[in-house]
Structure 1
Amino acid sequence: MMRSLQAQLISWVWSRPYLLLTFTALFWAGNSIVGRAARDVMPPVALAFWRWVLALLVLLPFALPYLRRDWSILRANWKWMLVLGALGIGTFNTLLYTGLQTTTAVNGLLLQSMQPALILMLGALVFGEQVRIPQIIGICLSITGALIIVLRADLSALLGLKFNTGDLVICAAVVVWSFYSVLLRKRPAVHPLSFLAATFMIGIAAIAPFYLAEIASGRLIQSRPESWLAIGYVCLFPSLIAYLFFNRGVELLGSAATGLYLNIMPVIGALLAVAILSEPIRWFHFLGMGLIGASIVSAARIGRQPIVRPIHVAPRP
């Protein structure tokens, strides 16, 4: 009886994309905070490398039966697996942690809030996805809401932003993640755990040479409690759980709607700042949250609204 209830609960949660993506945004917002907070004790490539190694060790006992079952399918789709593992696991987080070494949290949030628009554009250019009215409205609302929160409703702050090397690195990370989100539709039809484990392995292999170079340069992990807490958090919540939830969200909603919904990350980042840093919550936080909430409602209507126009990579023959 208890097992039956547990199975029903898991099935119910697994079929609720917005619930899964809310937790995804929470864990990824925490990932950025940890990456920034641990910058003095944890080199960026080391954090990325050990994040995935430990996450794989935790995942492998559960994923191994599915890996054995799905191995032939994974091997047959090895080219797409290499691309997805290298982008989503190997490259994105390494670039993110590297950028957070030198950029500010404000700039980082601002740059990451542009992901939904980029995902929509790439989906249209790469796969010829059709642009719908709710997507356009949702993109405009979500970006406006994110900007209001990040700039604290002060447009003059936009003129005062200074972009450094870290900002450019995070821009590259945003592009990488957008490609990963769009290309997830090419993932083979295998169990989520076997897919996750395989991409973790590929990502670790991609990061390893850069980690060795970082060690050779003299940048080592400082043996402090903050270092181990940072690794412990990032290997479990933003790695295992969030990636599993995100991949399921793309499966249920598509890349455009999923990317748009994840623009709640600035909202969650503001709430975390209140809870962790004791920063006051102001009226512009609520205004930004309201606009982002409206964008999510608009995204939920995708498929029930008329198409504005199809976008094609090349003219029809």
Structure 2
Amino acid sequence: MPYLLLTLSALIWSGNFVISRAMNNVIPPAGFVFWRWVVALVVLLPVVLPRLRREWPIVRANLGLIAVCGLFGVTLFNFLIYTAMHYTTAINAALVNSAIPIFILMFARIFYGQRVVLRQHVGIALSLIGVAAIILRGDPSRILTLSFNHGDLLVLLAAIAWGLYSVAIKRYPQGLNPFVFLFSITVAGLLLLIPFYAWEIAQGQLMTLNQPTVLSIAYVGILASVVAFTAWNHGLRQIGPHIGGQFVHLMPAFSTILAVIFLGERLQSFHVAGIVLISAGILCATYKIRA
């Protein structure tokens, strides 16, 4: 079940990357993050209100953790990604974003002393090779033509933020409802986002209100925020961040499949090879040999 939830998160977030790139000219980054999580709060409110008063002592006792998760998972990661999409390509973003599992492993080692066995190292390597096969379109020489800019640095900072968020989930408070937790970190993240959003409005950067923007906000607010975050948090709590983080590598594979289905792009041999390698790497990293 946790593997299915993590896979679902990767699938939904693949659509989030496509939408953020497509809408970067009509939805400013801070506004995108702000309204995305406002929608999430509205969706969560009916579920959370009956539980919030009862579970408030747990929330109050873990305000530090909630603030950390809100900062890294809600505010910084999303703001940095949406800002980066104004300056970099989807290919570069996918390439840099593939470093997330590495950061998760590094932080899990630093904060929890989590060891990684050889099998998991092999799985990570296979997944990275699969990501590279898709991004470089099966031609290693294409790496020489890639150019990087400050947008790619923002994606790298976002990857670090997500790595910190993912390892923080290991301290998830016992007895706290997942929706109450998500609601709490969303409130914290929005409060921390206010200075960025206020500065953006002062600069005259406002969202264009039309059907595409409303549908985009609805997608990222309901699916990419409520559904994907809840699934991701639950999956990491079940199997740990050092293993669950590998499912980030599914995003380039899912992006390829979505492009073939919805954009009419042609499935190439390097796509198939990349998807197979990513799947093999995740299987290698997560499979447990039973006596």
- TM-score normalised by length of structure 2: 0.97
C-alpha contact (below 8 Å) 1:132/1:302 kept by paired residues: no
Distance 2:288 2:67 in 1: 31
Give a deviation string over 1:51-83, Cα, whole Å, max 9, x none: 001110110110112221211111111111111
Note if 1:233 corresponds to 2:219: yes
Distance 1:90 1:296 in 2: 28
Distance 1:94 1:161 in 2: 24
Distance 2:23 2:272 in 1: 29
2:46 — aligned with what? 61
Note if 1:93 corresponds to 2:78: yes
Note if 1:178 corresponds to 2:163: yes
Note if 1:188 corresponds to 2:173: yes
Q: What is the count of residue pairs matched by the alignment?
A: 290
Note if 1:198 corresponds to 2:169: no
How far is the alpha carbon of 1:91 from its aligned partner?
1.1
1:119 — aligned with what? 104
1:164 — aligned with what? 149
Distance 2:211 2:6 in 1: 30
RMSD: 1.3
Note if 1:269 corresponds to 2:248: no
Equivalent runs, 1:29-40 vs 2, <5 Å: 29-40=14-25
1:79 — aligned with what? 64
The one-letter code of the counterpart of 1:41 is V
How far is the alpha carbon of 1:143 from its aligned partner?
0.5
1:222 — aligned with what? 208
1:107 — aligned with what? 92
How far is the alpha carbon of 1:197 from its aligned partner?
0.5
Give a deviation string over 1:100-127, Cα, whole Å, max 9, x none: 1111010011111121122112211221
- TM-score normalised by length of structure 1: 0.89
Shift in alpha-carbon separation, 1:148–1:80, aligned structure 2, 3 A:
same
Distance 1:98 1:275 in 2: 28
Distance 2:215 2:235 in 1: 28
Shift in alpha-carbon separation, 1:236–1:224, aligned structure 2, 3 A:
same
How far is the alpha carbon of 1:99 from its aligned partner?
0.5
Give a deviation string over 1:20-43, Cα, whole Å, max 9, x none: 112111110011111000011111
Distance 1:275 1:233 in 2: 18
1:4 — aligned with what? none
How far is the alpha carbon of 1:209 from its aligned partner?
1.4
Note if 1:52 corresponds to 2:37: yes
1:285 — aligned with what? 271
State the structure with more CA Rg. Answer: 1
C-alpha contact (below 8 Å) 1:249/1:258 kept by paired residues: yes
| Identity across the alignment (%) | 41
How far is the alpha carbon of 1:187 from its aligned partner?
2.2
Distance 1:93 1:228 in 2: 18
Structure 2 unaligned residues grouped into runs of 5+ = none
Distance 2:290 2:115 in 1: 13
Distance 1:267 1:204 in 2: 31
